[in-house]
Amino acid sequence: MKIYRQARQERQGGGIKQERIVKRNRSDSELFYFYKKSIMGDYKHHKGDKHGRFSYEVDGKQLAGMYYTMTGPERMIIDHTEVDESLKGQGIGKKLLEQLVTYVRQNHIKVIPLCPFAKATLDKMPEWQDILN
């Protein structure tokens, strides 16, 4: 009952969604309820003259970011990606990279991924290979 009350309180907070997960033990005689918290936020693009970032923000607070440097009008270097510990494993970094891929395709920009995360993810995604320099 304690877990249920905590989950209910969190569900009432702004911008937080609860997902109820039910698991049974081997004999199916007991049910286990788990609550997985996922935060609903916004993806944004912050663009400067040479530097920019794609970010994931909740209530105006940045929880994840993919930082880049423009080395010319048609060339971008992905420098670094960071994701808050509370969001690790939820695909936020990949979603940031997806936003970046859409942006560079629309603007005919080629990418050099110096960030280890971005490089590894781009290597696994054949459909994104066209953006690489």
What's the CATH code of the domain at 66? 3.40.630.30
Q: Is residue 86 domain-shared with residue 21, that is, in the same domain?
A: no
Euclidean distance between CA atoms 33 and 18, whole angstroms: 12
Q: Is residue 122 domain-shared with residue 87, that is, in the same domain?
A: yes
CA–chain centroid gap for 25, Å, is: 32
Q: Which residue has the higher pLDDT, 109 or 12?
A: 109
Structure confidence by residue, pLDDT tens digits, 23-66: 444 444 444 444 444 457 899 999 999 999 999 999 889 999 99
Looking at the 3D structure of the chain, how many domains does it have?
2
Q: How many CB atoms lie within 10 A of CB 88?
A: 10
Query: For residue 98, what pLDDT is reported?
Result: 96
Q: Is residue 32 domain-shared with residue 46, that is, in the same domain?
A: no
CA atoms within 13 A on the CB side of 112: 10
Q: Is residue 50 domain-shared with residue 62, that is, in the same domain?
A: yes
Residue numbers of the domain that contains 17: 2-38
pTM for this prediction: 0.71
Q: Per-residue pLDDT for 15 more than 60?
A: no
- The residue among 80, 81, 71 whose CA lies nearest residue 111 is 71
| Residue 18 contacts residue 34 (beta carbons within 8 Å) | no
Q: Is residue 29 domain-shared with residue 48, that is, in the same domain?
A: no
Q: Is residue 114 domain-shared with residue 85, that is, in the same domain?
A: yes
CA–chain centroid gap for 70, Å, is: 22
